[in-house]
Amino acid sequence: MKWQKKLRGQPALFWVSSYMSLWSNILFNLAVLINLIVAFFYPFENAVPELSFHLSSLIWIVMLVSLAIVITLPRQSGIRTFVVALILRLIFSCGPEPTLWLLGCITVVMKGVHIISLMGNYGTLEKHLFSILTDAELLYHFFYLLFCVFGVLLHPFFFSILLFDVVYREETLLNVIRSVTRNGRSIILTAVLALILVYMFSIIGYMFFRDDFLVPVDEEFSPPSAPPLPSADGMDCTAGESVTGGSHMVPGPDIVGEVIQQTCSRARMTEQASTVGGDSGGDGEMKERGCDSMIMCIITTMNQGLRNGGGIGDILRAPSRKETLFVPRVVYDLLFFFIVIIIVLNLIFGVIIDTFADLRSEKQQKELILKNTCFICGLNRSAFDNKTVSFEEHIKNEHNMWHYLYFIVLVKVKDPTEFTGPESYVHAMVKANIQDWFPRLRAMSLAAVDGDGEQIELRSLKNLLETNHVAVRELMAQIMELENKMTEQRKQRQRHALLNPTTSTSYQFYPQL
């Protein structure tokens, strides 16, 4: 952050650093255009490629129209169309090689600008020399620049290395590379097991099936140095070089010589084919022994056995069922096929595929968490269901992560003597690397909603208490009325007992209320 503050004090470096992604996109497009030129026009000739008048006019029209569109409505598609038309015009006007050299020089300059913008954004100049030399990303860009220079000065094929930048730009391709490197130890150990098995099968093949290792080969073609061969009509193959003269009824010497050379070439090819077929017993191809030594047996087993879908049995001699080693040979071929081809190789493929699936599931899980979880408080989307504030409004207004970042930057660059109370507290927490000031699993909107719910619940409880109080008062009134009635009845009984003494004894057994 302090470096970004210093960077704004350098307008040129700040401007270059502000367009780092733009420089990267321009470099990738230049690499694609350069390799298209190499693919279509290499090897380069001194002559300029010819173009018809209609196509040349069409390129001019497209270039002028796209230029007008770029001037009036500058858009990315219009700029690309203009650049492509301009490059085509340069190719068919100056030649592909000067155009390639020009694009290569532009790529070198743009890569230098891109490295400067990268260093400006990351504050590389403020780091130690060891940190700069061990920065993997910076080393990658310097190697990129080195291959650009090699493509301009040494050979244009070096520009093909620049296309691997698409792996650096796309996360999906990075996951493809990580699927091999993440479990590299497991893959290497499985490959070592495969080499051990191939070594064991090579030993068995060398001991028992050495004569069955007959590998088909093709001899390297070389022009024959033998004397001139007569053609089918008995003509001399050197006659074409001494044919002179002619008339209007006889073909010219150039045509006669060409016919003679073609006839002699067919004769040489026929002789070579017959020679090759004779060496192999008339089957049309040559074969040589591939297991005369242990090292050759290992190389043949590894090269032919692993590359053939059916294993080593695909290139060995087919045995007869009358041979004594027919059954061991069948067992040998089947074991190599099942153990090496089916089990071991599929183990390697399985590790790579499972790793790629794990990386893809991890990526999807991260995207799901970022989409459905607040970055600041960690509350899930479901916590805002049926609430007055939605999850989108919460992460946009209440817990906007960029607002928190801006606040951290503020407390870091602001003068401590001008801090307010909350700013002093946050500055101390940030300086001590403590995240307790973040509202973990809390939100003011949910607290307000919960407070309203509590008020409603308290109000309902109050109403219930009032209702119960009224019921209790009514019950007390009924009890008092009943007590008065019972007192009145007791007085009447006592009065009746005094007036009728004969029956008073019967009233003595009544209980006293």
324 within domain boundaries? yes
| Shared domain check, 205 and 150 | no
pLDDT for 252:
47
Of 271, 272, 190, the C-alpha closest to 232 is 271
How much is the pLDDT for 363?
Answer: 85
Q: Are residues 368 and 303 in the same domain?
A: yes
* Residue 451 reports pLDDT greater than 60: no
Q: What span, in angstroms and rounded, lies between the C-alpha atoms of 261 and 237? A: 7
Within a domain: residue 99?
yes
pLDDT at residue 60 is higher than 90: no
φ/ψ of 305, rounded to 5, equals -70, -40
pLDDT beyond 70 at 366: yes
Q: Residues 204, 139: one domain?
A: no
CA distance 289 to 213: 6
Residue type, 337: F
Beta bridge partners, 289, equal 214
Q: Quick check: pTM over 0.85?
A: no
pLDDT band at 237 (very low <50, low <70, confident <90, very high): low
Cβ neighbours of residue 23 under 8 Å, at least 6 residues apart? 110, 113, 114, 117
pLDDT-derived band at 11 (thresholds 50, 70, 90) equals: confident
| Domain count for the chain | 2
Whether 364 and 305 share a structural domain: yes
Region 9-15 average pLDDT = 80
Which of 348, 372, 396 lies at the terminal end of a domain, its last residue?
A: 372
> Which pLDDT score is estimated for 235?
47
User: Last residue of a domain, which of 320, 346, 372?
Assistant: 372
**pLDDT tens-place string over residues 121-131:** 877 777 777 87
Structure tokens that stand for 208 in this block: 């028992």
Please write the tens of the pLDDT for every residue from 161-209: 999 999 888 888 888 888 888 888 888 999 999 999 999 999 999 999 8
**Whether 334 and 189 share a structural domain:** yes
Structural domain contains residue 303: yes
What whole-number distance in Å separates Cα of residue 5 and Cα of residue 308? 63
At 217, which helix (H) or strand (E)? strand 214-217
Report pLDDT digits (tens) over 312-344: 888 888 888 888 889 999 999 999 999 999 999
Render pLDDT for 259-301 as a digit per residue (tens, 0 to 9).
456 555 555 554 544 444 334 444 557 888 888 899 999 999 9
Instruction: Encode 439-469 in three state secondary structure.
Output: CCCCCHHHHHHHHHHHHHHHHHHHHHHHHHH
Residue-wise pLDDT tens digits, 377-386: 888 888 888 7
Mean pLDDT for the chain overall: 80
Query: What is the pLDDT at residue 332?
Result: 92
In the prediction, which pLDDT does 233 show? 47
**Whether residue 189 sits in one domain with residue 126:** no
Q: What is the DSSP string of 392-446?
A: HHIIIIIS-HHHHHHHHHHHHHS-GGG--HHHHHHHHHHHTT--TTS-TT--HHH
Domain assignment present for 320 = yes
* Whether the predicted pLDDT of 156 surpasses 70: yes
Q: Is residue 40 one of the residues assigned to a domain?
A: yes
With residue 286 as reference, give the H or E element that holds it: strand 286-289
- pLDDT at residue 310 in the model: 86
- Using a pLDDT cut of 90, give the percent of the chain over it: 18
Confidence check: pLDDT of 411 > 80: yes
Poorest-confidence range of 51-65, 297-311, 312-326, 421-435? 51-65
Pick 148 or 493 by higher pLDDT: 148
Are residue 194 and residue 110 in the same domain, yes or no?
Answer: no
What is the amino acid identity at position 428?
A: A
Question: What tens digit of pLDDT does each residue of 462-476 get?
Answer: 888 888 888 898 999
Please check whether residues 326 and 367 belong to one and the same domain: yes
Is there a domain that residue 178 lies in?
yes
Same domain, 128 and 213: no
Determine the pLDDT at residue 241: 43
177/135 same-domain check = no
Burial (CB count within 10 angstroms: exposed 0-12, middle 13-18, buried 19+), residue 332: buried
The number of residues making up the chain comes to 513
- 19 and 147 share one domain: yes
Are 413 and 421 spatial neighbours (Cβ–Cβ below 8 Å)?
no
Tokens of 129: 């020399």
Radius of gyration (Cα) for the chain, nearest Å?
47
Whether residue 146 is predicted with pLDDT greater than 70 in this model: the reply is: yes
pLDDT at 511: 47
Residue 505, pLDDT above cutoff 70: no
Q: In angstroms, rounded to a whole number, what is the distance separating the alpha carbons of residues 178 and 250?
A: 72
Per-residue model confidence as pLDDT tens digits over 226-235: 455 444 444 4
Report the distance separating Cα 178 and Cα 355, nearest Å: 8
Domain limits for position 12:
1-48+95-169
Helix (H, G, I), strand (E, B) or coil at 289: strand
* Domain assignment of residue 306, yes or no: yes
Q: Is residue 199 part of a domain?
A: yes
Task: Using the predicted structure, report yes or no on whether residue 409 has a pLDDT greater than 90.
Answer: no
Do 188 and 145 lie in one domain? The reply is no
Last residue in a domain, options 329, 344, 372: 372
- Cα(250)–Cα(247) distance, rounded to whole angstroms? 5
